[in-house]
Structure 1
Amino acid sequence: MDKVELPQHPIFNVVAEAAAELSTDAYVIGGFVRDLVLKRPSKDIDIVCVGDGIALAAMVAQKLRHKPKVSIFKNFGTAMLRADEWEVEFVGARKESYREHSRKPEVEQGTLDDDLKRRDFTINALGISLNKENYGVLIDEFEGVKDMKRKVIRTPLEPGITFSDDPLRMMRAIRFASQLGFDVDPDTFDAITENKERIRIVSQERITDELNKIILSPTPSYGFKLLFVSGLLELIFPKMTELHGVETINGNSHKDNFYHTLQVLDNVAEVSDDLWLRWAAIMHDIAKPDTKRYSPKVGWTFHGHEDRGARMVPKLFKDLKLPLNEHMKFVQKLVKLHLRPIALVKETVTDSAIRRLLFEAGDDIEALMALCRADITSKNDNKVKRYLQNFDKVEKRLVEVEESDKLRNFQPVITGEVIMETFGLKPSKAVGELKEVLTEAILEGKVRNEFDEAFAFLLEKGKERGLRQVHSSNNN
């Protein structure tokens, strides 16, 4: 029997001692064992005992030097404690049965064999004994180690039953494949395709949690291609599947925006682990199907897809149960602005255009530029090289203008309150218009964002509108 060397930490010996005193068998189980075999870091330890998991956790806590607090979850029959950097969860061995319209199993006490059978994939149906007679021995009833060597995701039992019982496991299969760079076993993948409609009984929050993990994987396009081919993507994120396909009229074709989006996502993933920048990559062209037009003179166009896409972001976030907070606003901003740096590349870069981009992008300018670089996906290497060199020039100008004008997140020195006080106005449309005219003048470089110069400009514009100065404002 194969033995596995456990990490040098007292928690494993303490669990073994406590289990022996309680006359129960205990095992490290699941993802921790998988990651140990794959030599991946993991700080979450699952302990299964053939008996009372909560009682075992309590005794382990007594025996540990720092006497950690035990969190008990009676409804689930589990307990959890922290041992240094480890998070250790205890549960009694269980067997499960499912009803057709629920992914919540009926649970009863079981053997170690029962517990391993209920695991989702062979690579997670692994255990390491903590018992005196076979301490450190690897338990691998379903050839999970062999599947790891073959780089295959496979269910321990018949995959159709596995996915029908708990449809979230279909998402998890693709997530593990994407995270680990594994293939999905053909029979397992066929069962995902056959059971895809069952995903409808899973909460959107759980689906999105798995989707985010796919997005954060090293090459997220791989996971999305599996979702797409299986038919799951159409059910969980239909707007993204609408990007797929190429239409041809009079010999003119547009690119497949689905595969372009996946390439942009992978490009972003090479330079950033930021989940929300990756979501911006996914959504940057999301409105192209809605804005697609064909003209015999110019061919295919997607005019305004950046504005339409930005307006779509809040509803998409709401539907996907993503947070409707600053993360959503970040994605919305990048979708709206993603064509702006490209437009600067195509023309002579004016200071006013640079000022506007700095003003609108604010602290997200670096993220925007990363997205724009990722958006260059032409198969023409010379074209890509030329565009990226032009982006270098734009970024250089951004740094120069920011250093001289300090326009990132700038606010005009003349506030709405100053405008109201100067002309004796109440909050009104006229105040907003004057503030906008002043902002435009600063962005165009006609006026510096300094009080005296800006105030003189304000008086001039107020006079043009028939407004009379009633208060001599100053900057003190």
Structure 2
Amino acid sequence: MNFSKILRQNNIFEIVGQCADELELETFVVGGFVRDLILKRPSKDIDFVCVGNGISLAKMVAGKLGSAKVSYFKNFGTAMIKVDNWELEFVGARKESYRRDSRKPIVENGTLQDDQNRRDFTINAMAIGLNTSNFGKLIDPFDGVNDLKLKLVKTPLDPMITFSDDPLRIMRAVRFAAQLGFDIEGDTFEAITGTTERLSIISQERITEELNKIVLSPTPSYGFKLLYHAGILEKVLPELVALKGVDTINNQSHKDNFYHTLQVLDNVAKVSDDLWLRWAAILHDIAKPKTKRFNKKVGWTFHGHEDQGARMVPGIFKKLRLPLNEPMRFVQNLVLLHLRPISLVNESVTDSAIRRLIFEAGDDLEALMTLCRADVTSKNLAKAKKFLNNFDKVEKKMQEVESKDKIKNFQPIITGEIIMETFNLKPSKLIGEIKETIKEAILDGKISNTREDAFPFLLQLGHEKGLKAVIKDLS
């Protein structure tokens, strides 16, 4: 196969080839870019390997590209060039050997063959020549093109050695399968199941980086099922594995919450690329094993699993080295509130209940409704349609209340400063209590969030608490 026509559509490849000829360096474009070129997938990262000094090649290329931004990493013998929307990485061909207790290889200069031998999978071990003598020629020693046709993830060398040397490749195998919709070749998958204990030498950050890429794949349930069957998921996220299984008492069974969760995740993935909304889907029922009870009258219950689940979120995020700031709070809020919208369907539900949900969800309200809709996984189409129609009703009610009361992310008109000035008070717990009472009164619809309503209410509260107002008119 020859890709010279395609490569000439982007002058970067000809510039690199010209520089390689001038420096008399055999040079190739390798790895993911070649794979994606054959699959006709977009790619903005290009890896170049030369038999020799990659930094020297990068310096000359950067000079010819003019305004390119260059970063050199002399310790690793690599260089990175950012030009337009492209990220170009240059490295000398290497051969690697590994120690048992580390995934960091001992690196030596090598040939192209050495470099292809060290690649993780056959579909990533292809190279295309860039010198005048072989410009556009595909070099595919492990038949990666055929594996692309067969949709297979397969190691180029003995998979037991491949995964034992660098156990992160275990996660990468699942990630590529999930991203591309490929199968993992039989011997390769068997080697994964036999080397999972080697993941213990990989940092949690690297494992989570691959896990997030699986979460962001087109059908993430596929990746999670592979992780489960390989025995990886119980090591990485045992709380999710605990959802698996069905208990039956008195001929009454609950659904398998593991597969339900994966379906919810896929439902979210169909409509959103938001990583944290997908994590909310993964964790929305995470406390069901802890809250599962059987009641003779009503059958299986999971009372309070949303509250318990929200309490579990920070611990899971901390363990996985996920961010403990805004993303964690977003996921926690959605887990806590995911049952609330459906309870608002009843015609007798008050505006107060709707106000509270709008206020508590804040900017997360749209994401919450997306999660709630995704949570409908019934195979009974009539039942599923009824649930989804109910959510339409809830959203209409919320829109009506919000347009009238402007409650989303509202701040009470009466601030702590106003309370202190009105009663000549210093900062204290009492100020917070008064503010909370005013907020509750607004959410309950007893008063509007206006000075005309809220200030007289404040004066009344002060009177009840024995406070003397020094300011009796806010105007």
Q: CA deviation at 1:434?
A: 2.0
Partner of 1:293: 293
- Paired AA for residue 270 in structure 2: E
Partner of 2:166: 166
Q: Distance in 2 between matches of 1:356 and 1:7?
A: 60
SS at match of 2:195: helix
Partner of 1:275: 275
SS at match of 1:70: strand
With 160-169 and 8-17 compared, the bigger mean Cα shift is at 8-17
- Paired AA for residue 341 in structure 1: P
- Paired AA for residue 389 in structure 1: N
Partner of 2:343: 343
With 26-35 and 242-251 compared, the bigger mean Cα shift is at 242-251
Q: Distance in 1 between matches of 2:465 and 2:44?
A: 67
* Residues 368-415 of structure 1, C-alpha deviations (whole Å, 9 max, x = no match): 000011111112111110111111011111111111110000011111
Q: Distance in 1 between matches of 2:190 and 2:230?
A: 8
Percent identity of the aligned residues? Answer: 68
Q: Distance in 1 between matches of 2:126 and 2:92?
A: 16
Q: Distance in 2 between matches of 1:15 and 1:173?
A: 31
Q: Is the 8 A contact 2:67 2:83 kept in 1?
A: no
Q: CA deviation at 1:199?
A: 0.8
Q: TM-score of the superposition, structure 2-length normalised?
A: 0.97
Q: CA deviation at 1:125?
A: 0.4
Runs of 4+ in structure 1 off by over 6 angstroms are none
Cα distance 1:67–1:429, how it changes in 2: closer, same or farther (>3 A)?
A: closer
Q: Is the 8 A contact 1:423 1:467 kept in 2?
A: yes
Q: Is the 8 A contact 1:11 1:83 kept in 2?
A: no
Partner of 1:32: 33
Partner of 1:136: 136
Q: CA deviation at 1:187?
A: 0.8
Q: Distance in 2 between matches of 1:172 and 1:219?
A: 16
Q: CA deviation at 1:417?
A: 1.9
Q: Is the 8 A contact 2:459 2:472 kept in 1?
A: no
With 183-192 and 7-16 compared, the bigger mean Cα shift is at 7-16
Q: Does 1:225 align with 2:221?
A: no
Q: CA deviation at 1:346?
A: 4.9
Q: Does 1:312 align with 2:312?
A: yes
Q: Does 1:154 align with 2:147?
A: no
Partner of 1:47: 48
Q: Is the 8 A contact 1:349 1:394 kept in 2?
A: no
Q: CA deviation at 1:448?
A: 0.8
Q: Distance in 1 between matches of 2:286 and 2:368?
A: 17
* Residues 209-251 of structure 1, C-alpha deviations (whole Å, 9 max, x = no match): 0011001100000000000110001111111111111112222
Q: Provide structure 1 residue ranges, at least 5 long, that are not aligned to the other structure.
A: none
SS at match of 1:51: coil
SS at match of 2:48: strand
Partner of 1:122: 122
- Paired AA for residue 180 in structure 1: L
SS at match of 1:156: coil
Partner of 2:242: 242
Give the total of aligned pairs.
Answer: 474
With 411-420 and 195-204 compared, the bigger mean Cα shift is at 411-420
- Paired AA for residue 25 in structure 1: E
With 437-446 and 169-178 compared, the bigger mean Cα shift is at 437-446
SS at match of 1:408: coil
Q: Is the 8 A contact 1:122 1:154 kept in 2?
A: yes
Q: Distance in 2 between matches of 1:347 and 1:172?
A: 50
Q: CA deviation at 1:473?
A: 4.4
Q: Does 1:195 align with 2:169?
A: no
Q: Distance in 2 between matches of 1:234 and 1:92?
A: 39
- Paired AA for residue 89 in structure 1: E
- Paired AA for residue 74 in structure 1: K
Q: Does 1:432 align with 2:432?
A: yes
- Paired AA for residue 97 in structure 1: S
With 208-217 and 54-63 compared, the bigger mean Cα shift is at 54-63
Q: Is the 8 A contact 1:345 1:387 kept in 2?
A: no
Q: Distance in 2 between matches of 1:452 and 1:252?
A: 57
Q: Does 1:303 align with 2:299?
A: no
Q: Distance in 1 between matches of 2:9 and 2:366?
A: 42
- Paired AA for residue 101 in structure 2: H
SS at match of 2:217: coil
Q: CA deviation at 1:69?
A: 3.7
* Residues 286-339 of structure 1, C-alpha deviations (whole Å, 9 max, x = no match): 111111122222221111111111111111111100011111111111111111
Q: Does 1:60 align with 2:85?
A: no
* Residues 182-231 of structure 1, C-alpha deviations (whole Å, 9 max, x = no match): 11111111111010111111000000000110011000000000001100
Q: Is the 8 A contact 2:96 2:106 kept in 1?
A: yes
Q: Distance in 1 between matches of 2:184 and 2:178?
A: 10
Q: Is the 8 A contact 1:25 1:49 kept in 2?
A: yes
Q: Provide structure 2 residue ranges, at least 5 long, that are not aligned to the other structure.
A: none
Partner of 1:94: 94
Partner of 1:23: 24
Q: Is the 8 A contact 2:212 2:275 kept in 1?
A: yes
Q: Is the 8 A contact 1:447 1:453 kept in 2?
A: yes
- Paired AA for residue 418 in structure 2: V
